[in-house]
Amino acid sequence: MVSAEVIRAESVTKNFSGNTVLSDISFILKQGMSLSVIGPSGCGKTTLLYIISGLTPPSSGRVLIDDREVRGTESRTAFILQDYGLLPWKSVLHNVELGMKIRGIPSEERRESAIRILSDLGIASHIERYPANLSGGEKQRVAIARALAAGPEILLMDEPFSSLDTLTRERLQYTMSDLQRERGLTMITVTHSIEEAVFLGDEIMVMTTGPGSANRIIKNRDRRTRGFRNSGSFFKTCSTIRRSIEKG
Amino acid sequence: MKQKIPFFSILTALAATFIIWKTAAILASSPILPHPEIVLARFIEEACTSTFWLHFSISLRRVCLSILLSWIIAFPLGAALGYSRTLDRIFAPLIFMAYPVPKMVLLPVIVLLFGLGDISKIVLITLILFFQVLVSTRDGVRAINTRYYDSVESMGGTRYDIYRHVVFPAALPHSFTAIRISTGTAISVLFFAESFATTTGLGYLIMDAWARADYVMIFVGITGMSLMGLGLYMIVALLEKKACSWTFADAEEPANERIAIIEKTVTYSKMIKLSHTVFALPFALSGLVLAIREKPVTAEMVFWIIIAMIGGRSAAMGFNRIADADIDAGNPRTAVREIPSGAITRNEALAFTIFSSVLLVFAAAMLSKVCFILSFPLLIVLFFYSYTKRFTWLAHIYLGFAIGLAPVAVWIAIVGMPGVSIMLLAFALMTHIAGFDILYSCQDYEFDRQNNLFSIPSRFGIKRAFTISSALHITSVMLLASLYFTAGFGVWYFAFIIIIAVLFIVEHRIVKPDDITHIDIAFFNINSIISVLVFAAILTGYLTGG
Ligand SMILES: Nc1ncnc2c1ncn2[C@@H]1O[C@H](COP(=O)(O)OP(=O)(O)OP(=O)(O)O)[C@@H](O)[C@H]1O
Ligand SMILES: [Mg+2]
């Protein structure tokens, strides 16, 4: 399997008013691969995703997507923000249509693909509701639908399942894993959960604080085998990562 | 989440106002503070004059234009200031310098610049509202969580998209709230602006009464201004609710009390089918046209006739919903009605019915003694309808009879003893209503049979019911046609009768005994059109007649 490299981070560094938040982060992510990012609070995970998405420029270093430097947001990159970022004044349907609307896709087409993705995620019955009236799991599904509706190639997720109960969380992890495979998405997931990081990442990047830097990147070769979640390999990778975090 | 009993709280508030006012008036025992009932009587008297409404509408126009103008200018400006740091740095100091300046003192300057007419008043009110809306909108935008911007921007959104999808919708509720809570201020400023160098508006009315030491009139003006303020407040609150429904989506947030009242009002008007009153009003007005030929009619009479009509109709509908609550609850078609669904409690509906009945009796009393006396048996006749379907299939005819009384009642109020023409009209309406009520009740065929309720379809079957309905409608057209000869109408009257006949045919074409699915809005609309056409026919007949 020879895949082209899609995302390349080259010594990405970020300072906020003199404080170095990210220092010298480098990695390469190939097409259709998934990277999990794990690390303590405040180590700059969100900041890293902002830089990759083009919302924030790096202080030095650069991010390349398909060999072109990222200089602003692009429609092939979808970003699910830490608290979903659903607009409270728009119904579920309008939230999901938003990305397509911004890109000027005609309204019928918009509606059609929004409803298709919402039914794929099992929330088509809620399209008229406002986000305030949704449960956490439903909100998360809407956020995923909104990100995927525009047909992105790259998906960035910032702690997507952190506020959900264990069952919902696992169900959505499976959903996400399937969607990523079906659509061949190149994906980066920021998470605080070791299991989630291992379940969703072909590679796992462990970050440390002061200043935030990539401690190491762990390969997770067996991720795509069947029954991975209950396999010895899964638990072995989990404990490798735990040790790596504890070492700091 | 439902808020209960604002209807009672309105009544309580009214009663409390009355009691406090009355007490104060007794204690003061001075002509300067007149008693509330005297003010009310005078208010009603004035409300029947065009002068009052002229001043009222002039004031209303000034306030409404000011509100509109201030919003149109301040909302986009406030949004831009809130979003753009650069703009804010330049303009915020200016605004905060100007904000606390008492704008009222500028009135003389404004009058010099804009003259004595409407414009100077509108400018002053606009100026004051402008700052309220501007500051609220700006602060509202500043409070927007930046992740919403990030979210839109991450999708490739431009500055335009951010304004369109984030800034404006997020700021809209703030601007509406600002307008809503400034209505009181707006009215005060209006009074101030109207209190000098003008001869129009409620403010002038009050100052003029003051100059003449007509204390009752002062309070009439104050009442008018208060009602205007209250009305505007409620309208803005309703708009706010319509335009910013998402702010009410969060069940955690306590819903605004006033808005709950409005919601309740909407629920009540649904209960009594206020829209159907509009549909029944042509009947009363038809009676009015017939009566005008006999006796002169004053604006005051028309006013009380309409009040009586609304009172009677609301009382009848309210009572019907109470009496039929259990039946309605069992029938899937009517289970959504307000009492079975719990939107209005039985007690509230009862209070409402009593209130409406009192309204009818009061209005009747204002018309004449005969009307007052007759209003009691009339209420019984109206209420009795609710029980007819429990023991006779003639219920449809009875409904037609009860509604057909409307023009007769109007006639009695104006002329006295009913004549031939008015009776012909009453019977035409009776057959018209009975005919379509039969078709309507075909929808409840199964339900009525199961629950031992009487109706023509459940007694004779749907097919025969259709035949009976057709016969009634043919009779109705014939009765209307014969009205031509007794009332001495112009020949144009017949043009309308032909259209009415055609509509009846259409109505009977779109529904068939084996397919009653078309008995719906369209069907109902045809009936409303027919009612309005009956009135149009009579009006035309009268205007073109000899
Ligand atoms: N706009 C900003 N200005 C100044 N400092 C910032 C800014 N954004 C983030 N920081 C700082 O950068 C550091 C990293 O923030 P970031 O949000 O990326 O952490 P994180 O790893 O996502 O944390 P968490 O797991 O709690 O979400 C924090 O110390 C934060 O205070
Ligand atoms: Mg974060």
pLDDT class of B219 with cuts at 50, 70, 90: very high
Do B455 and B389 meet the contact criterion of CB atoms below 8 Å apart?
yes
A46 lines ligand 1 (CB under 6 A): yes
Q: Which pLDDT belongs to residue B259?
A: 55
Which of the listed residues A20, A36, A47 should we mutate to test ligand 1's pocket, taking the one with most ligand atoms within 8 A of CB?
A47
Amino acid at B284: A
- The candidate with the shortest Cα–Cα distance to B321, out of B306, B332, B335, B309, is B335
**B156/A88 touch (CB, cutoff 8 Å), yes or no:** no
Where is pLDDT greater, at B235 or B523? B235
CA distance B177 to B237: 8
In eight-state DSSP terms, residue B515 is B
Q: What is the mean pLDDT of residues B157-164?
A: 92
Cα A172 to chain centroid, rounded: 13
Q: Quick one: pLDDT at residue B252?
A: 40
How far is Cα B40 from Cα B34, in angstroms, rounded to an integer?
Answer: 10
What are the residues whose beta carbons fall under 8 Å from the beta carbon of A167, sequence distance 6 or more? none
Q: Which ligand is closest to the CA of A41, given by its number?
A: 1
Label residue B7 by pLDDT band (50, 70, 90): low
Residue nearest to atom 1 of ligand 1 (CA): A16
Ligand in closest contact with the CA of A44: 1
A199-203, B90-94, B154-158, B346-350: the lowest-pLDDT one: B346-350
Distance B88 CA to ligand 2 centre (A): 30
Task: Determine contact: B169 vs chain A, CB below 8 A.
Answer: yes
Set of chain B residues whose Cβ sits within 8 Å of the Cβ of A50? 150
| A29 within 8 A of A209, measured Cβ to Cβ | no
Cα–Cα distances in angstroms (integers) from residue A74 to residues A25, A31, A37, A70, A155, in the given order: 21, 17, 22, 8, 12
Integer CA distances (angstroms), A31 to A149, A202, A221, B105, B307, in order = 19, 12, 16, 70, 75
* A82 Cα–ligand 2 center, Å: 6
Closest approach of A235 to chain B, Cα-based (Å): 35
pLDDT at B80 over 90: yes
The DSSP secondary-structure symbol of B34 reads -
Strand order in the sheet with A19-30: A19-30, A5-16, A60-65, A68-69
Q: How confident is the model at residue B66 (pLDDT cuts 50, 70, 90)?
A: very high
Query: Could you tell me the two tokens for B24?
Result: 């104060």
Contact A87, B151 (CB under 8 A): yes
Which tokens go with A75?
């429609």
- Interface check B150 vs A, CB under 8 A: yes
pLDDT band at B386; cut points 50, 70, 90: confident
pLDDT at B251: 44
d(CA A248, CA B196): 79
Q: Which residue of B has its CA nearest to A103?
A: B156
Give chain A's contact residues with B (Cβ, < 8 Å).
50, 53-55, 73-75, 77-79, 81-83, 85-90, 98-99, 102-103, 129-133, 150
Region B244-250: what's the mean pLDDT? 71
User: What is the average per-residue pLDDT within B410-418?
Assistant: 87
Which residues, 6+ apart, have CB-to-CB distance to B416 below 8 Å? Answer: B370
Residue closest to B215 by CA, chosen among B29, B411, B456: B29
Terminal-residue alpha carbon distance, chain B: 60
Nearest chain A residue to B161 by CA distance is A102
How much of chain B exceeds pLDDT 70, in percent?
A: 89
Q: Kindly identify which residue of chain A lies nearest to residue B157, measuring between CA atoms.
A: A102
Compute the CA torsion angle B119, B120, B123, B124 (nearest 10 deg): -150
List the helix and strand counts (H, then E) for chain A.
7, 10
Looking at every residue in chain B, the average pLDDT score rounds to: 84
Cβ atoms B508, B469 nearer than 8 A: yes
The answer, for B27 touching chain A at a CB cutoff of 8 Å, is: no
SS3 B452: coil
Residues of B in contact with A78 (CB under 8 A): 154-155
Centre of ligand 2 to C-alpha A32, Å, is 24
Top-confidence residue, B330 or A242 = A242
- Give A114's strand partners: none
Q: How many CB atoms within 10 Å of residue A107?
A: 10
Question: A102, B169: Cβ pair inside 8 Å?
Answer: no
Burial status of residue A29 (CB atoms within 10 A of its CB: 0-12, 13-18, 19 or more): buried
CA distance B523 to B518: 7
For the Cβ of A207 lying below 6 angstroms from any atom of ligand 1, the answer is no
* Beta-sheet pairing, A154-158 with A186-191: parallel
CB contact under 8 A, B249 and A130: yes
Band (B521; pLDDT cuts 50, 70, 90): low
Q: What is the pLDDT of residue A215?
A: 67
Q: Determine the Cα–Cα distance for residues A236 and A242; give it in Å rounded to an integer.
A: 10
Long-range Cβ contact pairs of B274-277 (< 8 A, separation 24 or more) = B276/B313, B276/B317, B277/B309, B277/B310, B277/B313, B277/B314
- Residue of A73, A81, A100, A101 best to disrupt the B interface, most CBs of B under 10 A: A73
What is the A47 CA–ligand 2 centroid distance (Å)?
7
Distance of alpha carbon A109 from alpha carbon B110, whole angstroms: 54
Q: Cβ(A44) to ligand 1 under 6 A?
A: yes
Contacts of A89 in chain B (CB under 8 A): 169-170, 172, 244, 246-247
Those residues whose C-beta lies under 8 Å from the C-beta of residue B153, and which sit 6 or more positions away, are: A55, A73, B162
For residue B390, give both structure tokens.
């429990």
B155 lies within 8 A of chain A by CB: yes
- The answer to whether the Cβ–Cβ distance between A98 and B244 falls below 8 Å is no
Please determine, for residue B344, whether its predicted confidence score (pLDDT) is greater than 80: no
Q: How is residue B43 written in tokens?
A: 């208010």
What residue of A is the nearest CA neighbor of B248?
A: A132
Task: Identify the burial level of A110 via C-beta atoms within 10 angstroms of its C-beta, where 0-12 means exposed, 13-18 middle and 19 or more buried.
Answer: buried
As a residue count, chain A comes to 248
- Average pLDDT per 10 consecutive residues for chain A, totaling 248 residues: 81 89 91 92 92 94 91 89 89 92 90 90 86 89 90 92 85 90 93 92 88 76 83 87 81
Give, using CA atoms, the residue closest to atom 17 of ligand 1: A46
| pLDDT at residue B82, rounded to an integer | 93
Q: Is the Cβ pair A102, B155 closer than 8 Å?
A: yes
Q: Residue A95's CB: how many other CB atoms inside 10 A?
A: 27
* A151 three-state secondary structure: coil
Q: How much is the pLDDT for B112?
A: 87
What chain A residue is nearest to B173 in terms of C-alpha separation? A89
Q: Does the beta carbon of A191 sit less than 6 angstroms from any atom of ligand 1?
A: no
Pairing of strands A5-16, A60-65: antiparallel
Q: Indicate if the pLDDT at residue B2 is higher than 50.
A: no
> pLDDT band at B329, cuts 50/70/90?
confident
Residue closest by Cα to atom 12 of ligand 1 = A21
In total, chain B counts a number of residues equal to 546
**CA-nearest residue, atom 5 of ligand 1:** A16
Task: Judge if the beta carbon of residue A18 lies within 6 A of ligand 1.
Answer: no
Question: In sequence order, what are the beta bridge partners of A25?
Answer: A12
Contact B147 A98 (CB under 8 A): no
Distance of CA B101 to the CA centre of its chain: 40
With beta carbons less than 8 A apart as the criterion, state whether B33 and B215 touch.
Answer: yes
Which atom belonging to ligand 1 lies closest to the Cα atom of A159?
27
A16: which 2 tokens?
């906020």
- pTM exceeds 0.90, yes or no: no
Measured in angstroms, how far is the CA atom of residue A47 from the centroid of ligand 1? 6
Please tell me the predicted confidence (pLDDT) of residue B486. Answer: 86
Report the DSSP pairing between strands A203-208 and A213-219. antiparallel
Residues 6+ apart with CB under 8 A from B239: B176
Work out the average pLDDT over B375-383: 91
H-run or E-run covering B234: helix B215-243
Categorize the per-residue pLDDT at B75 as very low, low, confident or very high, splitting at 50, 70 and 90.
Answer: very high
Q: Measure B253 CA to nearest chain A CA, in Å.
A: 10
Q: Which of A43, A53, A206 maximizes ligand 1 atoms within 8 Å of its Cβ, making it the mutation to test the pocket?
A: A43
Give the pLDDT score at A245: 83
A63 C-alpha vs ligand 1 centroid, how far in Å?
19
Strand-pair partners of A158: A190
Residue B249 touches chain A, beta carbons under 8 Å: yes
Cβ <8 Å between A53 and B151: no
Are residues B479 and B537 in contact, defined by beta-carbon separation less than 8 angstroms? no
Q: Is A174 touching ligand 1 by the criterion CB < 6 Å? A: no
- The tens digit of pLDDT for each residue in B252-278 reads 444 445 455 556 666 665 655 555 555
Closest Cα partner for B219 from B63, B54, B13, B32? Answer: B32
Residue B204 has pLDDT above 50, yes or no: yes
> For residue B403, with 0-12 CB atoms within 10 Å meaning exposed, 13-18 middle and 19 or more buried, which class applies?
buried
Give me the residue label for tokens 């009242």: B261
Q: Which residue, A15, A50, A131, is CA-closest to B147?
A: A50
Query: Of all helices (H) and strands (E), which one includes residue A16?
Result: strand A5-16
User: Is any ligand 1 atom within 6 A of the Cβ of residue A41?
Assistant: yes
**Ligand 1, closest atom to CA A39?**
21
Contact B40, B175 (CB under 8 A): no
> How close is the nearest chain B Cα to the Cα of A69, in Å?
16
Whether B144 has its CB under 8 Å from any CB of chain A: the answer is no
The predicted complex's ipTM stands at 0.90
B534 alpha carbon – ligand 2 mean position (Å): 71
What is the band of B296 on the pLDDT scale with cuts at 50, 70, 90? confident
Amino acid symbol at B427: F
Residue at B187: amino acid letter: I
| Calpha distance B535→B526 (Å, rounded) | 14
- A43 in contact with ligand 1, CB cutoff 6 A: yes
Nearest ligand atom owner, CA of A20: 1
Q: What angle do CA B508, B510, B514 make, to 5 degrees?
A: 90
Strand partners, B148: none
Burial B496-520 (b: 16+ CB within 10 A, else e): bbeebbebbeebbeebeeeebeebe
> Can you tell me the distance from the alpha carbon of B358 to that of B337, in angstroms, rounded to the nearest whole number?
24
Q: Are B445 and B399 in contact (CB under 8 A)?
A: no
How many whole angstroms from A54 Cα to the centroid of ligand 1? 16
Contact A149, A97 (CB under 8 A): yes
User: What's residue A62's pLDDT?
Assistant: 93
Each residue's pLDDT tens digit, B437-484: 888 888 888 888 888 788 888 888 888 888 999 999 999 999 999 988
